[in-house]
Structure 1
Amino acid sequence: MIFRILLLILLAAGFTADVRADDLRPGYLEIREIPAPNAAVHQYGITWKAPIRPGLAARVVPVFPNDCITTEPVRSIDAAALLARWDITCRGTLAGRSVRLSGIEDTAADALLRYQSATGITQAARLTPANPAAVIAQTPDRWQVARTYFVTGVEHILMGYDHLLFVLCLVLLLNGARRVVATVTAFTVAHSITLVATTLELISLPGPPVEAAIALSIVFLAVEIVKREPGAPRLSERIPWVVAFLFGLLHGFGFAGALAEIGLPQGEVPMALLTFNLGVEAGQIVIVIGAMLTLWALHRANALYAARARMFSAYAIGSVAAMWLLQRIVAG
């Protein structure tokens, strides 16, 4: 019964996940202070990017203090998101005051707030249904950007089904903690390389082919798990770190695409990039440890039971990934 439940859960995840399951799809609110000749007023350029699918575009509106006058927004559609730009003029500075996303309480999404003062000092904060408002600090905490992007990185690996299933496949494929750790480390090094290189615009690849190839990488590992036989190790078992490294380079483009959706704070790019990557690795460690402990407990209880669970999981993951692959080929 438990195998059927696992299969249904994974298949349901495949059918309900968006074609671009790798995207974070948060909202993004940028507030940039514009130096004004009149010290009595404070001007700000506003950019609001609201993904359409989670409902942010239709339901959520940025709200500023009552003394702020708003110009008419200029709207466009950018990568399945509503992109709006406008200016506000306030009698007082926004520093020390609250900015809110009205309507986010009725969604299951979150948003990143980035504030840049006229002197170039940057702040970042997460707005969620439980915490829809943030106070712009008068004296920013230097670690605020680090905390925000670290949490975002953790959330991406835990909610980015592509990477989660790939890492699970590595654990299901290999025996022995050392082999798993070495292989996951190779995957980590590889996707860190392409994440940094792509974010810094040193290299780039188009999104749709990368997303399809990431789904294919999961299908490949699922097939390797299903076809493995005692005494006849397959390619991914003989040189798992090489396979993980090569696929990790590919997955790094996916991480970079997600980070591009969020944006990086000007002047804090190295900190944001580093802490986002550290957050990804922290989430990845949680997945690996949890999966290994689960398999260990199943094996201790019943070796046959553990083998069946491994096989059913591989079939379920492979089915979901194959569906993603077809979706992304058609969508691309």
Structure 2
Amino acid sequence: MSLSLHAHELRPAALALQEVVPGEFNVTWRVPAQGDLRLSLDVVFDQQSQPRSLPTALFAGGYYVERWRASHPNGFVDSTITIDGLENTLTDALVRIQWLDGREQVARLLPDSPQMRVENKAGKKEIANMYFVLGVEHILLGIDHLLFVLALMVLVTGTKQLVTTITAFTLAHSITLAASVLGLVSIPQGPVEAVIALSIVFIAVEILHKLEGRSTLAIRKPWLVAFAFGLLHGFGFAGALSDIGVPAHEIPLSLAVFNLGVEAGQLAFIVAVSILMLTLRKLPSVHQWEVRTGHSASVASALPVAYLVGGVSALWLVDRTIALVI
């Protein structure tokens, strides 16, 4: 069943064409889905393309996946590919074409530009721009990762400790992201997503411990905990990147700029939260409260942040754990 899903469905669709014999390609088309409902998106090739097999389809992992074989006299070079219906969504579509001689092209189609012209090979600039934007989008749309960073910001004390902690988190997820993409380590995404939710619950509880005056390892050395959990979050980033795929001839470039995009998005979030906190502290009512109680605005906000972040992540933990056993 095909249906336009709600606007909050922002995962990208993905089209992969892999040449298996000269002029013939295995086609894989993945569309975001919820249950047995999918976004109303369809691939349209030019008139020179011919189907060589009947399509097979299934719903798996939150996607509608369709596979078939198609041929094109020019190997699709200089042809057009259109994602019909993309203009009616908020999502994008990632296209990856691989030829027998090792050439590859990647492209990102948007609602306002749902068509592409196939070239012989994607340039470095095109790849860099695409994967940087994907990295920024992934972190800013990854609410669980942002809540973890927010909880760390509340847990730490002072700018120096914040810089050390965020640096440790960045270094850790960069390591596992690279190791996973390069095929050195492979972990199923289901358990990873569940443990990511658990990591957020853990930090939320540590915030409460800090407010109670306790001194735990996470409070004394938050950078150590950030590094440990950062390794897990890196596998989460890798799962998203593996869904997208990377061009084989530009793996280091794709990996590097995707990671830079993640870091840029993360830094933007930290700066935005910091500015918000500084702005709140300048409000007369907040300043008077600080003088009267002897507590800072950051202390006042820590309790609701701990309960909000902890509550949401606990729900995720239950939901993701149930998904593992069903």
Instruction: Tell me the TM-score normalized by structure 1.
Output: 0.84
Aligned partner of 1:182: which letter? T
**Aligned counterparts, 1:158-173, within 5 A:** 158-173=140-155
Instruction: Report the alpha carbon displacement of residue 201 of structure 1 after superposing the two structures with TM.
Output: 2.3
Would you say the 8 A contact 2:25–2:70 is kept in 1? Answer: yes
Deviates more, 1:95-104 or 1:151-160: 95-104
Q: Is the 8 A contact 1:105 1:128 kept in 2?
A: yes
CA distance in 1, matches of 2:225, 2:8: 26
| 8 Å CA contact 1:54, 1:107 repeated in 2 | no
Deviation at 1:206, TM superposition (A): 2.8
Q: Does 1:209 align with 2:191?
A: yes
Identity %: 42
* Structure 2 counterpart of 1:149, one-letter code: Y
Alpha-carbon spacing, 1:202–1:118, altered in 2? closer, same or farther (3 Å): closer
For residues 72-151 of structure 1, the aligned pairs below 5 Å read 72-138=54-120, 140-151=122-133
Q: Measure how far apart 1:55 and its partner are.
A: 8.9
Q: Is the 8 A contact 1:150 1:277 kept in 2?
A: yes
Which amino acid is the alignment partner of residue 151 of structure 1? V
2:26 maps to 1:45 = yes
The CA deviation string for residues 120-172 of structure 1, in whole angstroms up to 9 with x for no partner, is 22221112222212222356322212211111111110001111110111112
Aligned counterparts of 1:81 and 1:145: Cα–Cα separation in 2: 25
The answer to whether 1:312 aligns with 2:278 is no
1:32 to 13, 18, 26: 18
210 and 140 in structure 1: CA distance in 2 versus 1, 3 angstrom threshold: closer
The corresponding residue for 1:246 is 228
Question: What is the total number of aligned residue pairs between the two structures?
Answer: 307
Distance 1:308 1:82, change over 3 A: same
Contact 2:154 2:298 in 1 (8 A): no
Secondary structure (helix, strand or coil) at the match of 2:211 reads coil
Quote the Cα distance in structure 1 between the aligned partners of 2:75 and 2:186: 39
Corresponding position of 2:47: 66
Is residue 36–residue 59 contact of structure 2 (8 Å, CA) maintained in 1? no
Q: CA RMSD in A?
A: 2.5
Q: Which TM-score applies when normalising by structure 2?
A: 0.85
Q: Match of 1:313, as an amino acid?
A: V
In 1, the alpha carbon distance for the partners of 2:37 and 2:101 equals: 31
* 1:43 positional shift: 3.4
Counterpart-to-counterpart distance in 2, 1:131 and 1:141: 19
**What residue number does 1:4 align with?**
none
1:107 positional shift: 2.7
Given the superposition, is the C-alpha separation of residues 281 and 126 from structure 1 closer, same or farther in structure 2, using an over 3 Å criterion? same
Which is bigger in relative contact order (C-alpha 8 A, separation at least 6)? 1
Cα offset, 1:74, TM superposition: 2.9
Q: Secondary structure at the match of 1:115?
A: strand
